[in-house]
Structure 1
Amino acid sequence: MSSPNGTGETRTVLAVDIGGTKFAAAAVTADGGMPVRAEVPLSAFASADAALAEVVGRVTARVDRDGIEGVGIGSAGPLDSVKGSVSPVNIPGWRDFPLADAVSRMLPGRPVRLAGDGQCMALGEWWRGLAEHTPSRAVLGMVVSTGVGGGLVLDGTPYLGPTGNAGHIGHIAVDPGGEPCPCGAAGCVETVASGPNMVRWARANGWSGEDAKALAADARLGHPVALRAFRRAADALATAILTAAALFDLDHVVVGGGVAAAGTVLFDPLRRAVTGSAGLGFLRRVRVDPTSLGRDAGLLGAAALVLPQDSPC
């Protein structure tokens, strides 16, 4: 959907995606084009603040800064969209960090909108991904990676909630007597289905690999502990999906993130678990698919937060 401005130039916004282990940013046009994109690993910097400045600087150095009309930010949560602050569970150095203000200082005078990373992933898929081509009135997007995030698009509108945390599905308790979660609760979806927690569980049960990618590779080869780790994750995610489906009458669930990149070793047991546990007819109709946009879904959704009125929101 092209959206020219009064001078005939394509409108451009800056999109920023804050994850638990990487930060990404891009210049995004109103038709979903992404002429400039940058990504940095958080581990390469002394602080998250430095990583933020670097990734934004890499993009703004390669575009006409005066042509950037606004900034959309998707961040791991929890967050406070009213204050523009974030407290990502997996970034201990950021507690009530004024993220919107920090980015605004880099590009003064532009509107800035902040939403959860899962929310932006859902919005990106609804706008330019799989859900765009599959009519869906109620979409849940899930990011399964270092943490587990989520977001909702209902009747074409992102539902953020009063504080911006609606759809924060990673902190639904699926095992109230389970492992403690950094959020302060116990047995959250994230304690079972995030990449680091899957690896931790697998090592405790005899697996000797290094990370979630190795765990997925071994699961594909039939390693029994690796397969059990993915089945446990699938069961936890299915419980959360069906809970959300019962509340919001979902049409479609789109799952992205590093763990989702494992492919069939996650999605086969996940779909079986959703189908096997869905009782009511409206729950059985929920579709569960991997993201069609990969790592760009969150950036596109963040951009959609601030695109002009002829865009999705």
Structure 2
Amino acid sequence: MNRLHERAAKRRGRWKGMSLVVLIAGSVIALSACSSEPSAMAGEKAVDAGKVRITTTIGMIADIAREIGGEHVEVTSLMKSGVDPHLYKASQGDISKLDKADIIFYNGLHLEGKMTEILEQMGGKKPTVAVSDPIDRKELRSGDDAGTQYDPHIWFNVKNWMTASEKVRDELIKFDSAHERDYRGKSDAYLAKLKELDSYTRSEIASIPEGARVLVTAHDAFGYFGDAYGIKVMGLQGMSTASEYGSKDVTDLRDFLVANKIKAVFIESSVPQKAIDAVIEGAKQKGHEVKIGGTLYSDAMGEEGTNEGTYIGMVRHNVDTIVKALK
């Protein structure tokens, strides 16, 4: 019997053992609590019986879980549109969502820096899975000279995200084997879409004149994108927005733009624009006009319910925005 069915059986056993008096008393207490604290349940959505409760850190992982889990899962993402995961601090409400989850999925590689300890603690209680784990460490970009830290922005190489999707599928099957066939079918369909996205990204970036293939952003989130699709990437800040940038960083990037006659730079939806503005102003003082080529989604997707609020829609938006500005 899989874990989902065991959980349901245990719940039925507990209810059979309760007396009618206890049931009535519990109902009175519950009604009293609802009338005195109406906001306690505000914003909470009931989970259908039998569904696997999944909590993820970032929206991109939540999107995988919904695509593969379908009607068998209830997915909650802690970090919404525009939220920077590098600086995110878990609230008490987030701890509650993690506690209630059957499975927790997170990125790993220290993307969720301030939440790492909490996630490690949760790992002792329930399946708590880093979707980056199956990726060969030789395929990861190094974040330091010692090679002990890695760039966490793995989703910008679509093939990495295919590996992450397979990890989510396998963990769902392990937890809820009764629906293995559905999970495999939905996974196959989603992986086919990702394969098409990878091909689209490759061909579109290749359409930019080679000398113009330079992507300048606020922080170094697009390294995997650059390596996979043949475009030079430069960020004002390091791989984490927790790292500080200084006047030398601004000056160096300004000088690069001027020397290479780069016409456009890009802002990010989850990173303040002021850093890039300083670079643009510095280039202007040197007599070189640089425009903002558009807003890219880096560490967070777009608003829920929009095309950019899905992983595939986010990547396509980024590709189209880059190509339009640089081509």
For Structure 1 versus Structure 2, the TM-score category normalised by the shorter chain is 0.3 to 0.5
TM-score w.r.t. structure 1 length? 0.34
More helix by share: 2
Taking CA–CA contacts closer than 8 Å with sequence separation of 6 or more, which of the two structures ends up with the larger relative contact order?
1
More strand by share: 1
TM-score w.r.t. structure 2 length? 0.33
